[in-house]
A = this chain, B = another copy of it.
Amino acid sequence: MKETKIVLSEQDIPRSWYNIVADMPNKPLPPLNPATGEPISGDALAPLFPSGLIHQEVSQEPWIEIPDEVREIYALWRPTPMFRAWRLEKALDTPAKIFYKYEGVSPAGSHKPNTAVAQAWYNKQDGVTRITTETGAGQWGSALAFACQLFGIKCEVYMVRISYDQKPYRKLMMNTWNADVYPSPSDRTAAGRKILAEHPDSPGSLGIAISEAVEVAATNEDARYALGSVLNHVLLHQTVIGQEAIAQMEIAGEYPDIVVAPFGGGSNFAGLAFPFLRYHLTGERPIRAIAAEPTACPKLTRGVFRYDFGDTVGMTPLLPMYTLGHNFVPASIHAGGLRYHGAGVIVSQLLKDKLIEAQAVDQIDSFEAGVLFARSEGIIPAPEANHGIAVALREAEIARKEGKAKTILINLCGHGNFDMASYEAYFAGKLERLSLSQEEINDAVSKIDTPEIAG
């Protein structure tokens, strides 16, 4: 029998997170205080994040030990399985060897709990009893709800109202895990009340929901705020994925020429790619790491590298990132997790230094790839995951034309069980191609009013 699935036992759950900053030739530029333009210290983040996470956010150490209690919860789904995509390879008639690492086995169905559990633990150490966050379609909110419940921390989720009303199932998942979920804008915060006064029927936005969650954390001593991507400590926690994948590839007797993952803020991509990049940076094991972003939100392939706010309304420090501008509003594609205007700081620096690559994928192509994947491999992927699959299919086709048996590893970051309405829209021919014109890109970039980066 051909080997299909490579599994590890729970003793193989990584013992440390890998901090790629330690090995980067050019370290990321510091975040700036938007009022003064001066670099800010970690202390400035204390009202929002617990000390352990702030330490990780600024750490230059290559390895940070994973607390036992976090590893014990990881054991509920980790190590995640890796698969050889025999049936997909056959369907593509490619000599490429395709593998995928499947993160959808977590209780929340995606890679997000890898950081949610860690964040909840560090909050618990600081005596935090309440964690606030925002969520759009609910993938991050449900991961944090799950994590908080296991530590007895109250989770307070501000969910964009239109998603709250139209997509009730992820909200119910959060309720099942004991979280309080509020449609945003809400009357619980000054930010929410201000919006409601002007627009009583506001459908909400991720920007508004962030403002509400941050306000509650900043103004309540028992509460802190949690973010599901972008920040250094979030990317750090996801590196368990790549570390396991290296061990699994070794069992398979292979090593990837290409690793590919969908790209929203960077945590999913970083999680798979950074542990492999460690050996790329030393020249020991060269690899191509490809971030797959949507053509509707192409900050890596068509954005600019400069300081910008991490949020829409401009409350965060200024971060050095590839961005389309914090006011850029991407089209409402179904891969909601990829609709973020900028790229995390570390990933942005790596791209600037040409140590990683990026490719953009149209949503129609992404669903075509996802359906082929489901019909070959069984798992129905999340719309976000379909972007990574689509890039892998492109590379497999190049391998076919070149007759080369390249090894490609995909981060299959989650299942599509809560996204079947997206597949329905695809099957019904209701999706549009969504490439931006150069004028639209220029227009978005010209509106950025934050500092440029010299050089």
Q: A: which residues have CB within 8 A of B? A: 1-5, 7-10, 68, 71-72, 75-77, 83, 87, 105-107, 109, 146, 149-150, 168-169, 172-173, 175-178, 371, 374-375, 377-380, 415, 417-418, 420-421, 423-424, 427
Contacts and interface: CB of A to CB of B under 8 A. Distances in A.
21 contacts: A1-B68, A5-B10, A5-B76, A7-B10, A76-B83, A87-B150, A107-B374, A107-B377, A107-B378, A107-B379, A109-B417, A146-B378, A150-B378, A169-B421, A172-B420, A172-B423, A172-B427, A175-B423, A175-B427, A176-B375, A177-B374
A132 to B, nearest CB: 20
Given A2-B72, A169-B420, 19 more contacts: A1-B10, A4-B76, A5-B76, A7-B10, A77-B378, A87-B150, A106-B378, A107-B379, A107-B380, A169-B417, A172-B423, A172-B424, A172-B427, A175-B423, A175-B427, A176-B371, A176-B375, A176-B420, A178-B375
Nearest to A109: B417
Contacts of A77: 378
Nearest to A73: B378
A77 B104 CA distance: 12
Contacts of A5: 10, 75-76
Contact of A7 (B9, B177, B378, B379): B9
A71 B4 CA distance: 10
B417 A71 contact: no
Nearest to A379: B107
Contacts of A172: 420-421, 423-424, 427
Contacts of A380: 107, 173, 176
A293 B146 CA distance: 29
Contacts of A72: 1-2, 4
Nearest to A11: B1
Contacts of A105: 105
A84 to B, nearest CB: 10
Contacts of A75: 1, 4-5
Interface centre among A75, A83, A418 (most CB of B within 10 A): A75
Contact of A377 (B2, B4, B76, B421): B76
A76 B87 CA distance: 11
